[in-house]
Amino acid sequence: MAKGMRVKLDYEVSKDPDTGVEVTRLTPPEVTCHRNYFYQKCFTHDGSKLLFAGEFDGNWNYYLLDINAAEAVQLTEGSGDNTFGGFLSPDDKSLYYVKNERTLLEVNLETLVEREVYRVPEDWVGYGTWVANSDCTKLVGIEISKDDWVPLNDWKIFHDFFHKGPNCRLLRVDLQTGESAVIHQEKNWLGHPIYRPFDDSTVAFCHEGPHDLVDARMWMVNEDGSNVRKVKEHAEGESCTHEFWVPNGSSLMYVSYLKGQQGRTIYSYNPDTGINEEVMQMPACSHLMSNFDGTLLVGDGSGTPVDVKDTSGYTIENDPYLWAFDVAKKAYFRVARHDTSWATFANSRQVTHPHPSFTPDDRAILFSSDKDGKPALYIAKMPANPELIPA
């Protein structure tokens, strides 16, 4: 199989046993498939096509699915695709992704011709999810010193890597010229760089590692490297995770949880005022994402977090649901079961994670799950008359 190869998919439609909503499995359970990271653009603007990763030929490559036709075209080929960090351009004409932790590539979705945008220097390794600004003229990414780098294939390595204090740098790359500049560098594991939507002067990033060991997870820096500042000072026993920008740029939202407690709290940080505001209490979800204006949120219920050191102190009951949150009403409701295992699979810590997000029309939720076999893609419709639970 190669670029341009077309794969016909046989959807399976079912009703969720607990909420009755329609759930469609898009990809076959015998082939590993997953979605990209939850804040990366995966749908075309009109919602008719979906970017996803599939292992149809032995490699994890990118495909673009025509949802109505149930047919996917292969966009990349060979080994080494970072199939979590790729994203569609705002004009729906290109895919950007990193290959072999070395090369940032642009794929023309019409011709499938690839263009090398940027090459990571030999003594560095391209790490994690690289995120474009709203105009898609540049992106921010993380590079880790090659001398410090190890493949982060399981959670033990994840924990060990934190204690190494790897030399990391946050950089920006011009998507037309490939020119790059270092924004921030330190001997600390850095991750999750994200431009503030519609404000290129502000970049968020995190101190990565076990959530109960990092000094403070979420940070911001001006694009010119000035004014490095904490988003939040952690309280005693507090961990924060899975921050994201509301797509309209109004705030940075994140999940906070406390040692010994089952529930979690949604917070919103206003970068203009520096104020953290509690939005509402929530079930024990891992990832959280919003619609464009932050009026609706979706999260994936989880169990005891694996990305903490003191797992006994953070033990919680497993929650198998996708939850939606109505911010104005300060209430939430079940959408459907995701029933994923959260297991490390095929040397990936992420592939079984649901990573839910809304479809462009807010009427359904895209997620990954291995509930039927290998990881697969699903779309669950939003309930018409949800049973609201006050937060």
Q: 164-201, pLDDT tens digit by residue?
A: 789 999 999 999 999 999 999 999 989 999 999 999 99
Residue 144 DSSP class: E
195-219: average pLDDT: 89
For residue 228, what are its two tokens? Answer: 């490095």
> Does position 83 have pLDDT exceeding 90, yes or no?
yes
Q: Who wins on pLDDT, 254 or 258?
A: 254
**CB-based burial of residue 176 (10 Å sphere; 0-12 exposed, 13-18 middle, 19+ buried)?**
exposed
What is the pLDDT, as a whole number, of residue 258?
85
> Does position 117 have pLDDT exceeding 80, yes or no?
yes
94-114: average pLDDT: 98
> Does position 306 have pLDDT exceeding 50, yes or no?
no
CB count in 10 Å sphere of residue 50: 22
Q: Who wins on pLDDT, 148 or 268?
A: 268
Q: What is the pTM of this model?
A: 0.93
Share above pLDDT 90 across residues of the chain, in percent, rounded to a whole number: 80
**CB-based burial of residue 324 (10 Å sphere; 0-12 exposed, 13-18 middle, 19+ buried)?**
buried
Q: Is 137 left (phi over 0), alpha (psi -120 to 50) or beta?
A: alpha
> Does position 227 have pLDDT exceeding 70, yes or no?
yes
For residue 296, what are its two tokens? Answer: 């609706």
- pLDDT tens for 379-391 read 999 999 999 999 9
Question: Residue 304 — pLDDT band, cuts 50, 70, 90?
Answer: low
Question: Residue 259 — pLDDT band, cuts 50, 70, 90?
Answer: confident
For residue 81, what are its two tokens? Answer: 């695709």
What is the pLDDT, as a whole number, of residue 1?
61
Share above pLDDT 70 across residues of the chain, in percent, rounded to a whole number: 94
Question: Residue 241 — pLDDT band, cuts 50, 70, 90?
Answer: confident
> Does position 317 have pLDDT exceeding 90, yes or no?
no
What is the pLDDT, as a whole number, of residue 164?
74
Q: How far apart are CA 89 and CA 85, in angstroms?
A: 13
> Does position 316 have pLDDT exceeding 70, yes or no?
no
Question: Residue 315 — pLDDT band, cuts 50, 70, 90?
Answer: very low
Characterize the bridge pairing of strands 87-88 and 218-222. unpaired
Under a CB-based contact definition with an 8 Å cutoff, are residues 227 and 302 in contact? no
Under a CB-based contact definition with an 8 Å cutoff, are residues 205 and 192 in contact? yes
- pLDDT tens for 20-50 read 999 999 999 999 999 999 999 999 999 999 9
What is the pLDDT, as a whole number, of residue 157?
67
Q: How far apart are CA 52 and CA 62, in angstroms?
A: 6
> Does position 307 have pLDDT exceeding 70, yes or no?
no
What is the pLDDT, as a whole number, of residue 303?
63
Question: Residue 319 — pLDDT band, cuts 50, 70, 90?
Answer: confident
Lowest-confidence region among 186-190, 199-203, 264-268, 299-303: 299-303
